[in-house]
Amino acid sequence: MNKLRKHLELNVQLILEKRPQSSGLMNLFSPLLAIVLTVVVGGLIFAAMGKPPLTALYLYFIDPLTSWWSVEEVLVKAGPLVLIGVGLAVCFKANVWNIGAEGQLTVGALMGAIIPILWGEWQSPLALLAMLCLGALGGALFALIPAWLKTHFGVNEILTSLMLVYIAQLLLDWFVRGPWKDPNGYNFPKSVSFEGWHLLPMWGDGRMHFGLIVSLVAALVLFWIMRHTLKGFEINVVGSAPRAGTFAGFSQTKMVWFCFALSGGLAGLAGLIEVAGPIGQLQPQISPNYGFTAIIVAFLGRLNPLGVIFAGILLAISYIGGEGIQIELGISSKITQMFQGMLLFFILMCDTLILYQLKWISTKPNQPTSGHAS
Amino acid sequence: MKKLLTTAASIALVSALSISAVAADKLKVGFIYIGPPGDFGWTYQHDQGRQAIDARLGDHAETVFVENVPEGPDAERTITRLARQGAGLIFTTSFGYMDPTLNVAAKFPDVKFEHATGYKRTDNVSTYGARFYEGRYVIGQIAAKMSKSGVAGYIGSFPIPEVVRGINAFLLGAQTVNPDFKLKVVWANSWFDPGREADAAKVLISQGADIITQHTDSTAAVQVAEAQGVYAFGQASDMAAFAPNALLTSIIDNWADYYVDRTQAVLDGSWVSTDTFGGMDTNMVQMGPFVNMPADVKAMAETTTAAITAGELHPFAGPVYKQDGSLAAAEGEVVDLGTLLGMDWYVKGVDDQL
């Protein structure tokens, strides 16, 4: 028996081999397959926890869409995810890895808040417009730090953009506890409440806001750019075949700057929209990790701006639904993170298996091993 | 297959509906938690209070809770959801839920809200908090008696008045025993982050503190104290099980009586918006057993606790000096409630800057 196992270990290897051609249809269905797998495994986990799996799945995925109130909440939640997600989608498409959208969101919110906090008496539609511009500018400038480090020193942008998140959060923390603390707020770490034109127009139950339109427009515009302009073509070429891009005269360096400025700007805008919309003031915590969740959204949406809209809505449902089953069935809030993790895991797995196939190969002990992917 | 799916869907729908139907008869009481009930600290004690409602008023009321709700826009949605799902009374148990609670309360005038540790009230929003600083004063005295180095380490969450008040009360207590007692402060910038709390405890011990106390929600700090052989105090909940040799006592938040009373008031129709700031006198702040200390220290702690409970001793009775040496309350005066609620200065002797 032992001998047999040894024999097997020596002579059989499991490798990932690139498929000669990948199925275009499967490529399209990969996210759907990932969703189905997540739902099935999720159901099994609910059953293993002793909860009725069908009820739980219904409450998780369907119930949030059954009343107008929760649909509004799904949209409010999807807004920032989509806005950040479309920027990241373009970024990732070009093989530029901005992981720090959460930090850019934070700095955008800080920059935009300059107007209500320092020029509180300036009340006009222009004030709101200036806030939106400052928000986008703040996010973009903050994102240019990793871009600069990357292009000038060759520092890995994944690390720098991620670490800058913590710097941004501590900066926000310092501002709301220090200079921008509400003087009438009993020393609690909050800025003054924004008022009038420093808040986004709202409608519906009172939580739907102008930012949702911004998200939708951003997604549509980026879709058009990616599909119909030279810039879109450039992003696709540089991302999928960097050498070909260089021969075509596209600059890798400029692409890094462009991607960080774009995704950072959109993340900053999302941050400003959060503080001028649902929150209405600065406080130490302004985002439940939208900047990180948007990474899942970008991939789930196939790095396609239209796909990102649907992915954002799906992730938003997972938040709202996760809260629902917590109240109705007493299931821990960790389930939301688990579902989101499973979703990303399955989509990456499906993608891998579409491009590659698993193959057992036998290797003769006395021959050099062949078949390693080079 | 299609039939199977339809059946499955209808089963799911029916069971979902039946869950809501049960709820209609009883008063539904909702809770929003900042952390998980398994923190064995702040949220754990609120959850004990929730369970007390189930235990004592279970025939007329039922409870639901949502854990790990961030203090941002999510809080407003979660509170709205509880209100929409028929909760008649909602406890929001962290300071950061203040504005979200008020926003939701404005939309649901018939629902009663209770916000912990806040200061904004309306007709259907009450606030409640506890004078934890009374317990801090007692453990400060114990710390000064038990410490050999004369230095205690304090892990703060956020420098909000409630936490600063606790730090000051601790040191004022300690100074009654040892006027030169020193206090080092490290901010964890989180209510619940066991890793960071443990690191903070290690840093403080390495800086010479042989007493650790904390205003964060987990048991991490007392576990570090146990491992490193220094003394510690439980925060919010009796943490003796986590540090049987290191723990001297705990300051216990007892929300159970208040929660049951307020639920009963809604059931009776006698609920009105109030502000409650309970202490040892109303049993909202309790001291855990005094252990691991000599009899004289224990006797002193018991005497102080009794004096505070009876209203004979106020931790912030003058003379109280600020860090810069200026007088905050003269001999015979007491720092007034407004100053306590907005406290943004340290007393003399704190080795930290706000």
Chain A positions touching B77 (Cβ under 8 A) are 73, 76-77, 207, 320, 323
Residue B346 DSSP symbol:
P
* Residue A231: DSSP 8-state: H
Q: Give the domain ranges of chain B.
A: 25-130+255-278, 134-245+286-351
Residues A91 and A140 sit within 8 Å (Cβ to Cβ) = no
- Nearest by CB to B72, from A173, A206, A288: name it: A288
Chain A residues with CB-CB distance to B72 below 8 A: 274, 278-279, 283, 285-288
**Greatest alpha-carbon span in chain A:** 83
**Chain A residues with beta carbon closer than 8 angstroms to that of B13:** 58
Q: Quick one: average pLDDT of B276-305?
A: 94
Smallest Cα–Cα separation from B286: which of B134, B173, B163? B134
- Measured between CA atoms, how close is B13 to chain A, in angstroms? 7
Mutant choice from A36, A39, A54 vs B, greatest count of B C-beta within 10 A: A54
CA distance A58 to A328: 11
Contact B15 A189 (CB under 8 A): no
Residues of B in contact with A70 (CB under 8 A): 81
Say how far apart CA B235 and CA B237 lie, in whole Å: 6
Residue B127's identity, in one-letter code, is T
Domain B134-245+286-351: give its CATH code: 3.40.50.2300
* Predicted local confidence at residue B24, as pLDDT: 52
Minimal CA separation from A289 to chain B, in Å: 10
Q: Give Cβ neighbours of residue A149 (< 8 Å, ≥ 6 apart).
A: A155, A157, A160
Nearest CA in chain B to A275: B73
Q: Tell me the count of A-B CB pairs closer than 8 A.
A: 105
| Contact list, B16 vs chain A (CB under 8 Å) | 55, 58-59, 63, 328
Do residue A76 and residue B8 have CB atoms under 8 angstroms apart? Answer: no
Distance (Å, whole) CA B41 – CA B117 = 16
> Would you say the CATH fold of B134-245+286-351 matches that of B25-130+255-278?
yes
User: Which is nearest to A249 in space by CA: A260, A238, A236, A257?
Assistant: A238
Q: Do B72 and A332 touch (CB under 8 A)?
A: no
Closest chain A C-alpha to B268 CA, distance in angstroms = 26
For A67, nearest residue in chain B (alpha carbons): B84
pLDDT, tens only, B317-345: 989 999 998 998 988 889 988 888 888 89
Non-local (6+) Cβ contacts of B212 within 8 A are B152, B153, B155, B201, B204, B205, B221, B222, B224, B225, B230, B231, B232, B233
Closest CA to B75 of B58, B92, B54: B92
For residue A282, which of A165, A208, A180, A209 has the smallest C-alpha distance? Answer: A180
Model pLDDT, residue A261: 97
pLDDT for position A8: 53
Domains in chain A and their CATH numbers?
30-352 (1.10.3470)
Tens digits of residue pLDDT in B20-66: 444 457 999 999 999 888 888 899 999 999 999 999 999 999 999 99
pLDDT in tens, B108-157: 999 999 999 888 899 999 999 999 999 999 999 999 999 999 999 999 98
A140 CA: distance to closest CA in chain B (Å): 24
CA atoms of A175 and A339, how far apart (whole Å): 35
Q: How far does B222 lie from chain A, in Å, by closest CA?
A: 26
pLDDT attached to residue A11:
67
**Percent of residues, chain B, with pLDDT higher than 70:** 93
Q: Is it the case that residue B239 has pLDDT exceeding 50?
A: yes
Structure tokens, A61: 């995925």
Q: Is B195 exposed, middle or buried (0-12, 13-18, 19+ CB in 10 A)?
A: exposed
How far is A348 from B162, CA to CA, in rounded Å?
46
Helix pair A68-93, A211-228: axis angle to 10 deg: 40
Helix H or strand E segment including A315? helix A305-329
Query: Is B72's CB within 8 Å of A206's CB?
Result: no
Residue of A nearest to B119 (CA): A186
Chain B hits for A277, CB-CB cut-off 8 Å, are: 73
Query: Tokens 């209500």, residue?
Result: A116
CATH superfamily of the B25-130+255-278 domain = Response regulator (3.40.50.2300)
Closest CB from B8, B16, B72 relative to A63: B16
Task: State residue A208's pLDDT score.
Answer: 87
The Cα–Cα gap between A31 and A312 comes to 13
- Helix, strand, coil % (nearest 5) of chain A? 70, 5, 25
Contacts of A207 in chain B (CB under 8 A): 76-77
Closest CA of chain B from A69, distance in Å: 9
pLDDT exceeds cutoff 70 at B9: no
Please report the pLDDT score of residue A374 as a whole number: 40
Q: Which residues pair with B329 in a beta bridge?
A: B320
Bigger pLDDT: A333 or B184? B184
Among residues B99, B85, B31, B175, the alpha carbon closest in space to that of A278 is found at: B99
Mean predicted lDDT score pLDDT of chain B? 89
Provide the Cα torsion A357, A359, A363, A368; round to 10°. 0
| Predicted structure pTM score | 0.78
**pLDDT tens string for chain A (374 positions)?**
455 555 555 567 778 888 777 667 777 778 888 889 999 999 999 899 888 889 889 988 898 898 888 898 899 999 999 999 999 999 999 999 999 999 999 999 999 999 999 998 899 999 999 999 999 999 999 999 999 999 999 999 999 999 999 999 999 999 998 899 888 776 778 899 898 899 999 886 668 899 999 999 999 999 999 999 999 999 988 888 888 888 888 888 999 999 999 999 999 999 999 999 888 899 888 998 899 999 989 988 889 999 999 999 999 998 888 888 888 887 887 888 888 888 888 888 888 888 888 887 776 655 554 444 44
Rounded Cα gap, residues B81 and B94, in angstroms: 17
Look at A327 and B82 and tell me if their CB atoms are within 8 Å.
yes
* Through-space distance between the first and last CA atoms of chain B, rounded to whole angstroms: 66
> Predicted ipTM?
0.70
**Nearest chain B residue (CA) to A193:** B99
Per DSSP, helices labelled H in chain B are 2-23, 42-57, 73-84, 98-107, 132-146, 161-177, 194-206, 220-228, 256-268, 295-309, 337-341
Residues 6+ apart with CB under 8 A from A211: A79, A80, A83, A200, A270, A273, A274, A277
Residues of chain A found within 8 Å of residue B8, distances taken between Cβ atoms: 54
